[in-house]
Amino acid sequence: MRQKIHYLNYHILIPYLLLVVFGIIMVYSSSSDILLVNGFKPATYGIRQAIYALVAFFGFGVPIFALKIDVFKSRKFVVWFFMISCALLAFLVVMKIFKGSSAAVNGAVGWINLGFINLQPLEVAKFALVIYLAYVLDRRDGKLVKGQIVQNLSHPAILSAVMMCLVIVEPDFGGTAILFMIVLVMFSVSGVPTSIALRWLLGIIVIVAAVVVLIIIWNPKFLQESYQFQRLMSFLHPFELEKKGGAQLVNSYYAIHNGGLVGVGLGNSMQKRGYLPEPYTDFILSIAAEEIGTLGAIAILGLLFYLMWSIMEVGLYATSQFNALVCFGVTTILFTETIFNVGAVLGLLPITGVTLPFISYGGSSMIVLTSCVALVLNISANEKIKKHMEESVA
């Protein structure tokens, strides 16, 4: 552990810490007014987010950084972690079947109430899928050649599809898309020929686009009442459907417009005072843009993308296939979540409920993302130690 600390990658650690601290500040700022109006202490969510961050850092981050990488590469750990994550997702499906809409939050059954925290199994599933695919694809290194690709990728593809099916049943389309992107990217960088990977991507884009267009044209009655369909329609016609589901997007526009370049000042947002629903979750960037301006919001995103690049850089120079794949998988999680969240806030993508990494309120997301970062820091330290030992011998 002490040796690893000397090889800490501060290009990853510092941006992570800055994002977490700023996230706590923004959660407090964006939630305080609503809490006060409803008779709660204004700092409740801010304190909770700080507790989540501390538990994530010391309870999960430090131990994961201290453990040997071989622990995460062991078959026993990988199998159990993947099975537990699928079991948690299956439990949500059971809840949906027996409790129906009474167990749903914002149209989806995606949380398990543990009392002290609402566990979101999807977050666990993201991390489990990255480690599982890294383990499997590492063992198939050198075997993904023409004529053997289907044979070697069919097993991980089927298990990944099972996980995605469990998530889409909730229904959580944003979560399903993130899992799909993890699979696509990790398959693509594992040795699959570029031409084949590009054909997969093009085919998927065409299929998804065709399905969306057909749904919009068809506009079936049985879907019109569903929460997810209303969100899709609100994305296409936010102002016309402001009272039926477009309120978040419309008020997001107002918040960004009010903030201008430099913002109205921290704590001075108007849209967080009952206009923008749940401003401390997936639309927290809108409040940030209103309070610290477009320039401040760009700075947050710049820090996030710098963190992603630093993680990807570790993967690019990793000497182990497993280490590289973990880094690319974690980068995919952060990149996809950021793109989906920013796209929704700006009205460029449908609202899927995907939160902004490290900034939005949520214990499950904070714990899992911190665990991901800690594993990458562990990998980075081990790669540096290995390189230092090789240079010493030479």
Dump pLDDT digits (tens) for 337-369: 999 999 989 888 888 888 999 999 989 999 999
Band of the pLDDT at 161, cuts 50, 70, 90? Answer: confident
Q: What is the DSSP letter of 220?
A: -
Res 140 pLDDT > 90? no
Q: Which residue has the tokens 């409920």?
A: 353
Band of the pLDDT at 223, cuts 50, 70, 90? Answer: low
Of the two residues 93 and 232, the one the predictor is more confident about is 93
d(CA 251, CA 286): 9
Res 101 pLDDT > 80? no
Residue 288 · residue 359 · CB < 8 Å: yes
H-helix or E-strand containing 33? helix 10-37
Residue 63 confidence (pLDDT):
95
Predicted TM-score (pTM) of the model is 0.89
Of the two residues 36 and 277, the one the predictor is more confident about is 36
Res 250 pLDDT > 90? no
pLDDT digits 0-9 by tens, 261-272? 988 998 888 888
Q: Average the pLDDT over each of 2-6, 24-28, 147-151 and give the range with the smallest value.
A: 147-151
Q: Average the pLDDT over each of 132-146, 201-215, 316-330 and give the range with the smallest value.
A: 201-215
d(CA 40, CA 96): 31
d(CA 108, CA 168): 9
Within its chain, how far is the Cα of 254 from the centroid?
26
Residue 347 confidence (pLDDT):
83
195 class by beta-carbon count within 10 Å (0-12 exposed, 13-18 middle, 19+ buried):
exposed
Residue 147 confidence (pLDDT):
64
